[in-house]
Amino acid sequence: MNILTPPTLATPAASATARPTREETEAAVRTLLLWTGDDPDREGLVDTPARVVRAYEEFFGGYGIDPVELLARSFEETDGYDEMVVLRDIRLETHCEHHMVPIIGRAHIAYIPDGRVVGISKLARVLEAYAKRLQIQEKLTAQVANTIEQVLKPKGVAVVIEAQHQCMTTRGIHKPGVSMVTSRMLGAFRDNSDTRREFLAMIGAPRQGSEA
């Protein structure tokens, strides 16, 4: 209706400072290259600042996507379907907000409709909208579950994420093979242990040490 109203983001980038220009951002990458001790003017690195900024546009494109909007179109002709809908083994790529390095893993998303369903690709896109931001795994898990609950108002929502954090596998304590598992259970998944068990059986027990 009101075209002057900018899209509202569930998690606005609460920055008081203006967004830097592309040139300023490329200059910042050049500073990082200098910091490594390398020569940013040598042939192999001269285009790296521009490439890194383009990669960041892709990695962090989720700030421009409203996850609520993604779920806005739902369907009510379900013939009374009220069993669990499970999307499992969704590839997850996000970035740790503490080190800005990848978190790679998989997510499983389930809900029990209460008269409304969405196209299943929309569930994966909600995950992606939040994953393409700086994240911690706990917050990402909660954001996906809360958004589905808020918009679809289903009888229950469950989100499980298993992921490897490269800030833990390639630096710091160097523990390759360690996965972190987070979950958020709402409604029937929280209140009913049979429902929760059924979901966990459908996704298989979270695997430890699976190579992403």
Residues classed as catalytic: 96-99, 137, 165, 167
CB of 170 to Zn ion, least distance (A): 10
Residue of the chain from 53, 85, 167, 212 that contacts Zn ion (CB under 5 A): 167
Query: Is 175 a residue that touches Zn ion (CB under 5 A)?
Result: no
Q: Which stretch binds Zn ion (CB under 5 A): 10-18, 74-82, 110-118, 161-169?
A: 161-169
Give the integer Cα–Cα distance in Å for 138 and 183: 8
CB of 36 to Zn ion, least distance (A): 19
Using CB under 5 A as the binding rule, the residues of this chain from 57 to 116 that contact Zn ion are 96, 98-99
* 108 bridge partner residues: 160
Q: Which is nearer to Zn ion, 87 or 212 (CB)?
A: 212
Give the integer Cα–Cα distance in Å for 96 and 138: 11
Q: List phi, psi (to 5°) of 201.
A: -70, -40
Distance (Å) of CA 202 to CA 88, 93, 104: 8, 22, 21
* 181 bridge partner residues: 162
Q: Which is nearer to Zn ion, 147 or 169 (CB)?
A: 169
Amino acid symbol at 27: A
Element (H, E) at 88: strand 85-96
Tokens 């740790």 belong to 96
Nearest to 70 by CA among 132, 152, 12, 140: 152
Structure tokens, 194: 């049979």
CB of 131 to Zn ion, least distance (A): 15
Binding residues vs Zn ion (CB under 5 A)? 96, 98-99, 167
